[in-house]
């Protein structure tokens, strides 16, 4: 297969691109390197030292990997170049990671809210319009999030893989059954852009029969895959700061440097998780099992385990001896929630999940402890608040 990996320099995109090349696919990474520029603006760096995209690709070639090409392009604002590339290269599939992906960053200011909406919604729409204009039958695999459903309103119901059966009452008193997109309830501007992506996909799939797989991914933890561990120059990024660090990786890093684990609110928030190796495998499985022409958007829940944040912190503390620190919650969200998720599709396709129990300690020792001296402790606190009330609570904790 010839595959474009949009956002292929990022945390999920880089190991995914390398894995696809390793399996013999022809890979072209498209990225505007905006994530690296945001690090410069925020004055923070990945805990792991990452090389430039040029050095990554050279290293991959030098160790015998199938060459990966790179195109520096902004999919949200360089539409004509995107169409030309599709028409010239004629890829079989496009994996779309190229979005601003941090909820706290999206809530930082009106400027980051507007940037996130502009970048994410325009980027996704440009891709869809460009595929229609190219006239090619290209399968899109998009990385969405479990967060599109919100957290807290399911009252114990299982979240299905995308669609919900409803009974619609008719004027004559009869009822007919219909399947609709599961209702969305975004909890941040970032999550809102992901719910808008869903509608864009629904429309272009219905109107233009674009083949789409939307992967509703849980929070990714871990750093390297077998392929990115083959050479230090291939190392993947590890975000730990208050804006981009994801909860479990933050706990692991905090434990490694002796910083009390930052549990926000009661810790009763339940979230879905997946290891980076499984994320990469799921994207590969989705590419290898595309929907047929005319089939509705395929939606998979790409997660392997659900955990309460407080319980997760206790697990990390039990493994490492770390202390817990309960802090005010900067997010406007339910104090506690259940999260029961149907993830049968990937398990049936052969995914063998990496569990927390298998991988946590190795991650603390191999990555977090190894690079602990690169950590800037002043960047650990979460300072982006969802509302002015939350901003006050963070400034003056009781
Ligand atoms: P990331 O920020 O590390 O990577 C995104 C990449 O896309 C970056 O390299 C960035 O430079 C690029 N990019 C952004 N806008 C672009 C544009 N307009 N044109 C070209 N390139 C652009 O993020 P990630 O953690 O790898 O996440 C990738 C995708 O997976 C995102 O869409 C995210 O919503 C989704 N996801 C991630 C997680 C997670 O825990 N990391 C969880 C669920 C879903």
Distance 274 CA to ligand 1 centre (A): 16
Does residue 123 line the site of ligand 1, with CB under 6 A? Answer: yes
Distance 371 CA to ligand 1 centre (A): 23
- ipTM value: 0.99
| 141 band by pLDDT with thresholds 50, 70 and 90 | very high
Site to substitute for ligand 1 among 99, 217, 236, 272, most atoms within 8 A of C-beta: 99
The torsion defined by the Cα of 347, 192, 152 and 355, in degrees rounded to 10, comes to 30
Distance 98 CA to ligand 1 centre (A): 5
> At 72, which helix (H) or strand (E)?
strand 69-72
Distance 356 CA to ligand 1 centre (A): 23
Name the average pLDDT for the chain. 94
Residue of 232, 224, 283 lying closest to 60 (CA atoms)? 232
Residue of 218, 376, 372, 388 lying closest to 303 (CA atoms)? 218
φ, ψ for residue 193 (rounded to 5)?
A: -65, -30
Instruction: Give the residue, by CA position, lying nearest to ligand 1 atom 29.
Output: 97
Measured between alpha carbons, how far is 25 from 8 in angstroms, rounded to an integer? 14
Does residue 308 line the site of ligand 1, with CB under 6 A? Answer: no
Window from 141-155, 160-174, 298-312 with minimum mean pLDDT: 141-155
Is residue 370 helix, strand or coil? coil
Measured between alpha carbons, how far is 119 from 134 in angstroms, rounded to an integer? 22
Q: Exposed (0-12), middle (13-18) or buried (19+): which is 91, by Cβ within 10 Å?
A: buried
pLDDT tens profile 205-236: 999 999 999 999 999 999 999 999 999 999 99
Per-residue pLDDT at 335? 86
Question: How far is CA 23 from each of CA 65, 75, 288, 349, rounded to the nearest angstrom?
Answer: 10, 26, 11, 17
pLDDT tens profile 277-315: 999 999 999 999 999 999 999 999 999 999 999 999 999
Does residue 228 line the site of ligand 1, with CB under 6 A? Answer: no
Sign of torsion over alpha carbons 278, 201, 341, 273: positive
Measured between alpha carbons, how far is 112 from 105 in angstroms, rounded to an integer? 7
Instruction: Give the residue, by CA position, lying nearest to ligand 1 atom 6.
Output: 7
| CATH number for the domain whose boundaries are 2-231+274-303+337-353 | 3.40.50.720
Higher-scoring residue by pLDDT: 72, 339: 72
Strand 175-181 to 163-169 pairing:
antiparallel
Does residue 76 line the site of ligand 1, with CB under 6 A? Answer: yes
Instruction: Give the residue, by CA position, lying nearest to ligand 1 atom 9.
Output: 10
Instruction: Give the residue, by CA position, lying nearest to ligand 1 atom 10.
Output: 35
Does residue 188 line the site of ligand 1, with CB under 6 A? Answer: no
Q: Exposed (0-12), middle (13-18) or buried (19+): which is 131, by Cβ within 10 Å?
A: buried
| Structure tokens given for 282 | 């799921």
Examine the pLDDT at 124 and tell me if it is beyond 80. yes
145 is catalytic: yes
- Residues 214 and 142 sit within 8 Å (Cβ to Cβ): yes
| 49 band by pLDDT with thresholds 50, 70 and 90 | very high
Per-residue pLDDT at 151? 80
Does residue 215 line the site of ligand 1, with CB under 6 A? Answer: no
Measured between alpha carbons, how far is 82 from 61 in angstroms, rounded to an integer? 26
Measured between alpha carbons, how far is 4 from 8 in angstroms, rounded to an integer? 9
Per-residue pLDDT at 90? 98
| Structure tokens given for 77 | 């604002």
Per-residue pLDDT at 362? 83
Measured between alpha carbons, how far is 58 from 396 in angstroms, rounded to an integer? 49
Instruction: Give the residue, by CA position, lying nearest to ligand 1 atom 42.
Output: 219
Cβ-count burial 360-394 (b if 16+ within 10 Å, e if not): beebbeebbbebeeebeeebbebebbbeeebeebb
Distance 101 CA to ligand 1 centre (A): 5
Window from 3-7, 35-39, 56-60, 311-315 with minimum mean pLDDT: 311-315
Distance 217 CA to ligand 1 centre (A): 12
φ, ψ for residue 159 (rounded to 5)?
A: -80, 115
79 is catalytic: no
Examine the pLDDT at 37 and tell me if it is beyond 80. yes
The percent of residues above 90 in pLDDT, for the chain, comes to 85
Does residue 273 line the site of ligand 1, with CB under 6 A? Answer: no
Examine the pLDDT at 107 and tell me if it is beyond 90. yes
pLDDT tens profile 326-385: 999 999 988 888 888 899 989 999 999 998 888 887 888 889 999 999 999 999 999 899
Exactly one of 105, 115, 190, 244 is catalytic; which is it?
190
Per-residue pLDDT at 158? 87
pLDDT tens profile 20-33: 999 999 999 999 99
Per-residue pLDDT at 115? 98
Cβ-based neighbours of 140, under 8 Å, separated by 6 or more: 93, 94, 96, 127, 128, 131, 201, 210, 211, 212, 213
| Structure tokens given for 82 | 């995107």
194 is catalytic: yes
């Amino acid at each position: 297969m010839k595959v474009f990996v949009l956002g292929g320099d990022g945390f999920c995109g880089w190991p995914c691109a390398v894995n696809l090349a390793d399996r013999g696919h022809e890979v072209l990474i498209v990225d505007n390197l905006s994530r690296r520029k945001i690090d410069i603006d925020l004055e923070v760096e990945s805990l792991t030292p990452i090389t430039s995209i040029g050095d990554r690709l050279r290293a991959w070639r030098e160790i015998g990997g199938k060459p990966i090409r790179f195109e520096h392009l902004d999919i949200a604002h360089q539409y004509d170049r995107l169409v030309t590339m599709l028409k010239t290269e004629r890829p079989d599939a496009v994996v779309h990671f190229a979005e601003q992906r941090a909820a706290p960053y999206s809530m930082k200011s009106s400027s980051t809210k507007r940037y996130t909406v502009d970048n994410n919604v325009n980027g996704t729409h440009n891709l869809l319009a460009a595929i229609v204009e190219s006239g090619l039958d290209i399968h899109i695999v998009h990385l969405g999030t479990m967060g599109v459903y919100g957290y807290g309103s399911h009252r114990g119901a299982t979240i299905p893989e995308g669609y919900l059966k409803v009974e619609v009452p008719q004027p004559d008193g009869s009822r007919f059954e219909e399947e609709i997109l599961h209702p969305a309830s975004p909890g941040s501007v970032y999550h809102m852009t992901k719910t808008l992506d869903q509608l864009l996909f629904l429309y272009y799939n219905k109107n233009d029969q674009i083949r789409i797989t939307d992967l509703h991914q849980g929070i990714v933890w871990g750093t390297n895959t077998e392929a990115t561990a083959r050479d230090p120059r291939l190392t993947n990024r590890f975000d730990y700061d208050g804006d981009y660090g994801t909860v479990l990786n933050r706990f692991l890093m905090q434990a490694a440097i002796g910083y009390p684990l930052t549990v926000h609110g009661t810790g009763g928030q339940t979230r879905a998780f997946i290891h980076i190796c499984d994320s990469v495998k799921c994207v590969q499985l989705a590419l290898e099992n595309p929907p047929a022409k005319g089939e509705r958007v395929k939606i998979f829940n790409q997660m392997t385990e659900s955990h309460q944040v407080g319980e997760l912190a206790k697990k990390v503390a039990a493994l490492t001896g770390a202390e817990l620190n309960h802090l005010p919650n900067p997010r406007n969200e339910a104090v506690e929630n259940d999260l029961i998720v149907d993830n049968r599709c990937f398990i049936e396709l052969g995914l063998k999940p990496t569990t927390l129990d298998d991988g946590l300690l190795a991650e603390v020792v191999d990555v977090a402890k190894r690079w602990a001296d690169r950590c800037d402790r002043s960047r650990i606190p979460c300072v982006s608040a969802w509302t002015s009330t939350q901003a006050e609570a963070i400034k003056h904790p009781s």
